[in-house]
Every structure is written in structure tokens, then in C-alpha cells.
Structure 1
Amino acid sequence: MSADLLTQVILPGALFLIMFGMGLSLRPQNFYQVAAAPKAVGIGLAAQLLLLPILAFILANLLQLSPEIAVGLMIIALAPSGATSNLFTFLSKGDVSLSISLTAVISIITPFTIPFVVALAMQYFMGTQSEFTLPIGKTILQLLVITVIPVALGMLIHAYKPKWAQAMQGFFKWFSVAFLALIILLIILKNAANMGSFFAQAGLATLLLNVIALLLGYQIARWSKLDKAQSTTIGFEVGLQNGTLALVVAGTLIGNTQMMIPAVTYSILMFITGALFARWISRR
């Protein structure tokens, strides 16, 4: 894949709009609900912030991925959940309020965690001689601009124009899912001759990351005595990550299009595995 208008302009702009749409659906009460359900939120946050990166690191080493693909796998594991997890939670009759709260909190945290962990991953997998670098301070600032600031703007508009915000919530939620699908489709069409190579390099790793995270998130919640709705929510929150943000980090902030490959294969697979997981949940 080659860096172009898509990675330099369209993806960051779309991510800004997606996060703005998330902000339109949030109220301060969503953050207060963290205190109302500390056990469920704590399990969800721990699974996303600790379990996923550890799982990705283990898979990258076990499968002996190339350095760029290994870092790309770490990036998708570090990305927060997004509108896709909220949508699947709703369709599977999970705890939508918990899903939105977890997505909101994790989206505020990850602009600070992603730069540090990705920098460590690049040093571990690529060594100190790599031509690609990730300035931590600059990256945190860039992520805040395209994630946290639009969320804050959306919340501000929700506070002063609640009717308009409520009317636009559905549009932005479907826009985020549809845009990710469109971007992946465009990448597939542009790189049709290389898609087999992409899946050969990252397909198995991203499939295992996706499926194991879905099942582990759900089972850890059940083992912790959470109810089925909360467990379903945590399964989706841990198992379905924000592919758009991962593409932006790899392709726009780092500028390494090879690192985008795991985000591409993951984003294709998660719609399939998410649907299968939802069916499995409904049959239990």
C-alpha cells in the first residue's frame, strides 16, 4: 500500500467526524456511570488496556510476524473500541449504556497509552535502526486533536442543542460503520492484486486476536459473575477495535503503510466474527 490522499487527509478527517458523532451521543452521566458499575467497567478497561496488548505481543512472537506487521498488530490491539462495538452490543441485547461508557472512557485514555506502547513495540520488533519513529509528545497531541477534542465538541453541542444532537446520533453511528467499510473496500480495490499477500502476512494473527479477545472478554466477565448483558458488552468492547484509528496511527502518524495491513485484515474479519459471536451469544 502507498501513502496518499487517503492516509494523509481522508482518514484523519473521517476519524474526527466519527469521534464528533460519538460525542453527540455522550452526556456527563455516561462518565458518572463508571462509578455506578465499577466492577464491570474495571473488567472492561483492564481487558482492553492490558489483556489485548499482551495477547497481541504473544501472537506476534509465536507466529514470528515480520517487524512491521507485528507493530501493526500491536496498534490494532491498542486502539479503543468504537461505534461498531456499540452497534453489535445493541443488536445482541447487551448493556448499551455500559458499552457507550466504556467506549467513551477508553477513547479518552488511549491517546496517552498508544504512543508509549507503540514506541516500545517499534523498538522491540524493529530495533533502533528503523527509519520510522513515533515522537511521543507530538503523537499524543495529534491524537488528542482528532479524538478527544471532537468528542468534547460533540458533548458541548449535545448540552446546548440536545434535539439536534439526538437527531444526528443515528446518522453519525451508521456513518462510522459505513465509512470504515467503504475505506476497507477502497483499499481492497486499490490493492486487489496484493490482498492475498496481506492475508498471508496478517490474516491468521488478526483472526486469532479478534476471536480470542471476543471469547476471553465474554468469559472473563462471566467468571466475574457479571450478568449476560454486561458480559456480552465486554466481549464486544474487547473484541471489536476501532479500525479507523489504527489506520490513522499506522498510515498517517507513523507513515508506514505496511503497518496498516493488520488493521485492514482485522477490519474485514471483525464484521464476520462479530456477527458469528452475536449469533453464538443469542443461542446460549
Structure 2
Amino acid sequence: MTDTILKVKNLFFRYPNQEEDTLKDINIEVKQGEWTAIVGHNGSGKSTLARILNGLQMPTEGSVIINGMELSEEKLWDIRRQVGMVFQNPDNQFVGSTVEDDVAFGLENIGVPRSEMIERVEESIRRVGMKSFLTQEPHQLSGGQKQRVAIAGVIALRPAIIILDEATSMLDPIGRKEVIQTIEELRKEMGVTVLSITHDLEEASRADHIIVLNGGKVFAEGTPSDIFLLGEQLVQIGLDLPFAISLANKLKSIGVTLESNPTTSERLMDELCKLTYKI
């Protein structure tokens, strides 16, 4: 049975000077090695939850347990070593003058010996497909390349969980595809646990598990197929259905039913090819 690496129990959070809780009785579990997407419209509480999971905010009530450790002021830095975050704007994440300097920065901060640091920098950059950009200046990179370097900086620290906080929202389609492909490859190669915070159901469709937040509460959770069966309910809380789901629904409305409900564009193409073959 897959181990639980993250457990959130009866979590509440309220910002100072606010009358209402931003997060209300959140209960979730994340399994080791899985990709879990937390989705919701702006203001649903998903980014606040991400900051709590990395110890940037402390819960008002409830508990967060990561890799067997409960989040507290005393365990804060231990928790942060377990959780790496990739933020929305890649330009705000760079501190080094070159790609390799930037990836090495976090390792220097935690006192990793130089010989080990060199190995970790080279390995992490290779894993994200940026080996030929070692000495490149970050401002010369595309958006997708910058995020891949940011991911390299995180995996060099060897966290148990990587959180992507709207990490693809500012990228063009090519950059978004690069980052998602990188994450999928890292999961296969390293077994890393991924938690993506997003409002993009197209991106979330590639996850193993989806948690939907609405108004600071868990609205629904399940596999992508389970979640997309909610259809219009997702639209009503401000989410856009993935193209594959929308097209499949339109085909069904005119009497064309696919063998299975596709959750990604690739699966939609497979279903359309089957349909064409039958015709």
C-alpha cells in the first residue's frame, strides 16, 4: 500500500483583521510518489494552503503532518527541507548570475560540501534537460526554461515533496508543456511527490488525484475522471473544463459517443482515431 506523505487534518486559517476563515476544516491526504492537483478559482484558498504546507504561514487550527513530522515553529526548518516550492513568476526566483550558480545557491545556504554540491547541481540540471545551459545567464532563457531551472534548484535540495504554486500560469503553451513534461519525467525517474496548485483543469487532468477547493472548503476530490464527471458543477464554481472534456461533451450532445471519457488531449486523439477507424 502506498504510504501517506502528507496529511492535513481539521485545518483552519484566518488572516489578521479578517472576520472569516480563508480555509475551513480542510482534511486531505497525499500519497508518496503521486501527483496531486489542488484546483480552484481565484480566492478559493489554494495558494494560502500551499504557503501553509511550506511553513510560510502557520495554521490557526488543525495539523499538518509531512513525512511523519507535524508542522510547528520548532520543526519549521525541518519541514521546509522536506518541501520545495516553485512559484508563479520565474523571474522572481533567480539569484545567481548563471544557471549553475542559481541551482547551487540553495545548496550553499544549507552548507552542502563543495564536491557534493557540484554533483547535485550537474545531476539536477541534467534531469530537467538544461545541461547545455549551465553557463547561460538566466535572463536569456525562455519562460519554460527558467521554470525548469527553478525546478532543478528545488530537486538539488532533495525534498520529499515539490509544490508548484501556479508555476505554469505565466508561460506560453510551449513553456507550459516543457514544465509539465519535466514534472512527469521526474516522477518516473525519482518517484518524487508533486503537489500542483492551479486553476487550470487542463494541467490538473494529468495528475493522479485532484482536490477541488471552493470558498476555503474541499468541494470535491478524486481521480481526474471522477472530478470531470461533475461537469457543469465545476463551471458554476468558476472553473473551465479541459478542451478534451468539452469536445467530448459536445460530440455526445449530437449523438456521437466515445468509448471512454478522455481527460487529456492525447486521450481525445486516441478516441477520435478509434471513431474514425470504425467509420
Question: TM bucket by the smaller chain?
Answer: under 0.3
Greater Rg, structure 1 or structure 2?
A: 2
Higher RCO (CA < 8 A, seq sep 6+)? 1
Q: Which has the higher helix share?
A: 1
Normalising by the residue count of structure 2, what TM-score does the alignment of the two structures yield? 0.25
TM-score relative to the length of structure 1: 0.25
Say which structure is richer in strand: 2
